[in-house]
Chains A and B, each alone.
Chain A
C-alpha cells in the first residue's frame, strides 16, 4: 500500500512538472521570411527563328542583391537574399497533339542565378502554347510567391530571318552587279583590270625555278578545303601548275589537310593535262604532312632548307606560321609570292616576301590569271560593290558629322538617328526596323 502511494506521488509530480514545463516553454520561432518575388514576367516567341524557342524575361526580386533598383542591398535581410530563380512551365494547348501528364502540370524547366533576369527556353515545340511562372528562392530553400506570365505563348516559325534583311539586300545588289558584268563580258566587251604585280611575278618565279633547275614550292595554307581561302589558293595553284608544266619545272605541294591533298592532286593533274604534259605529273609531289600547325611548319621549312626551291608561293589561310615560312624562304634566297586574307598575317608576308597579294587581290588572282572574260567580269562587279561600300561609309561619316554638330542633350537629331540606323540596321543585325526606332525589341516584328 505504501509502495502504491509513493508511486502515485512520483507520477503526479512528474505530470505536474511536464504541464508546468509546457506552459513556460519558449514559443516556436517564426518561419524565416520568404524572398520578395520577381515581377513583370514577360514571355514572347523568339523572333526570326524556326519556332523552337521562347524568350522569358522578369524583373529581379527586391531582395536580390544584384538588383540595381535594390539600393539597400547591404541592409537586405540575409535570410531573404535570393540565391536562384526557378522557372516553371506547363503546356496550355498541345495544338491537337498528345501531351503527356507531366507536360500538362507545372514543372521546373530552368534555374537561373541571382541577378539573371532572362532565359531562353529552347525545349519548346512549335505550335504548342505554354504558360510560365517564376519565383525567387533563398539560400534556405524558401520560395517566394509565384509570378505568373500574362497569358500563354506559342512559339511560331518565321519564313524569313528579318534580322538579316539588309544582308540579303546587299547580297542581291552585289550579286546583280557581278551577274551584270559577267553578262557584259560575255557580249564581247573588253573590261580593263589594273595590273597586279604579285600575279605578274608568278610566271617570273616559275621561269626562274626552271632556269635554276630547282622546284617550285606551293603552300595552300593550313585550313581545310571547306574554307574559301583554300579554294582561292587552289585556283592559283591550277595556274601555277600549268605554267610549271609548260616550262618543265617541278612543283612541290605539301598540304596540312588530307582533303586538300586530294583536291590539289586533281587540280595539278588537270593542269598538267591542259598543258599537254600529263607524263610529267608526279602525284607524290603533292603530299600530306600533318594536321598539326607547327609540325607542318617544321616539315615544310625542313624541305625548304634541304631542297632550296627557287620559288616559294604561299596562297591560302595562314596563322602564326606565315612568318616562319616566309623568313625561311627569304633565308634560302627564293623568290617569294604570298597571298592571304588574314589581315594579321599580311604584315609578315609584306616584310618577308617579294610580292604580296593583299586581301581582295588574293581572291582576284584566279580571275586575273585565267584571263577568262566571265571571271574578269566578276572582278568588275566586285569593284562596284566596293564603290557601294565606300558610298555607305561616306554617308555614315556625313551623318556622324551632322549629328555631332546638331546634337543636344534632349534631342538626338536626324544625323544621329540616321547614323544609328546605318550602323545598327544596314550594317548591323537589327533588320529593316524603323528609322529612329532605337534598340531592337525582342518581342517585335515576327513576320
Chain B
C-alpha cells in the first residue's frame, strides 16, 4: 500500500498531464497540478528545515568535528527566520499605515533585505567566481595531448580561444592573402561553433529527448518503480 498509492498517483497524474498537452479543454490542468506541487513543496520545506536543524543540533550537542560551524548555521537559521518573520525594518504599507506588519517583507533597507543583499549575494558571488579557477584547472587537464583525440581537442580549443579575442585577427594581419581569409582564427571559430559544435550538440539533444520520453513512459507504465524504492 505504501508503494502502490504513490505509484497510482504518479501514473494518473502523468497520463492526465500528457493528455492535457493535446486537449485544449484540459490545458489548465497542468497549472492546477503545479499548484498542488507547490503546496506539497511548502510542506516539505518544513521537513527539510527541521532535518537541517536536527542534524546540526546533534552535531553541536555531540561536539563532533566541526561543531562550531553547525553552531553558526543554527544561529544564522533562526536569526534569519526571526528577522524575516518579524519584518524587522519594514515600513507599514501606505494603504494600511496603522498596521505595523503590512509592509513588503523584502522592502529595500529592511533587515531581511540587508541579509540578502549584504550576506547571501556576496557569498553566492564568491562561490560563482571560484568557477573561473576551476575552469582553468579542468582545461589544463583536459587539453593535455595524450592521444590523437586529446590533441585534436587541444588544437580546436586553441583556435576557439584565440578566435574569441583580437589575436584571432591580429595574428593574420598583413600577410594572409585575401583568398585564404577563411583560415583566420575568428572565421574558423565561427565555423567550428556553427557546424561541428552545433551538430554534436543536436545529436546529444535528440538522444536526451528520446531518453526523456522513454524514461517517462517507463514510469507512466509502472515498468520502472525504482524511484519509489522498488525494483
Q: Which residues on A are within 8 Å of B, measured CB to CB?
A: 48-51, 157-161, 164, 167-168, 171, 174-175, 178-179, 182, 224, 226, 228, 231-232, 234-235, 238-239, 255, 257-259, 261-263, 266-271, 273-274, 284, 287-290, 292-295, 297-298, 306, 320, 323-324, 326-327, 330, 341, 343, 346, 348, 350-352, 358-360, 362-364, 366-367, 370, 372, 374-375, 378-379, 381-382, 385-386, 389
Contacts and interface: CB of A to CB of B under 8 A. Distances in A.
Nearest to A382: B214
Contact of B211 (A50, A269, A295, A364): A364
A65 B201 CA distance: 43
Interface string B45-78: 1111101100100100000011000000000000
B217 to A, nearest CB: 5
Contacts of B131: 320, 323-324
A389 B204 contact: no
Nearest to B28: A50
B210 to A, nearest CB: 5
Contacts, number: 203
Given A352-B138, A363-B212, 11 more contacts: A161-B22, A258-B48, A287-B55, A288-B52, A306-B65, A324-B134, A359-B204, A359-B207, A382-B210, A382-B214, A389-B206
B207 A360 contact: yes
Contact of B214 (A161, A284, A378): A378
B227 interface: yes
Contacts of A298: 123, 127
A167 B137 CA distance: 43
A360 B211 contact: yes
B-side interface size class: 35 or more
Contact of A50 (B24, B123, B227): B24
B230 interface: yes
A51 B27 CA distance: 11
Interface of B: 21-25, 27-28, 37, 40-41, 44-49, 51-52, 55, 58, 65-66, 120, 123-124, 127-128, 130-131, 134-135, 137-139, 141-142, 201, 204-208, 210-219, 221, 223-224, 226-231
A19 B208 CA distance: 91
A160 B48 CA distance: 41
B229 A258 contact: no
16 contacts: A234-B227, A257-B44, A261-B51, A270-B229, A288-B51, A292-B120, A292-B124, A295-B120, A306-B65, A324-B131, A351-B138, A351-B141, A363-B208, A366-B215, A375-B223, A382-B211
Given A258-B45, A351-B141, A267 B24 contact: no
A232 B214 CA distance: 11
A37 B151 CA distance: 67
Contacts of B215: 228, 231-232, 363, 366
Nearest to B77: A290
B210 A174 contact: yes
A285 to B, nearest CB: 10
Nearest to A294: B127
Contacts of A375: 218, 223-224
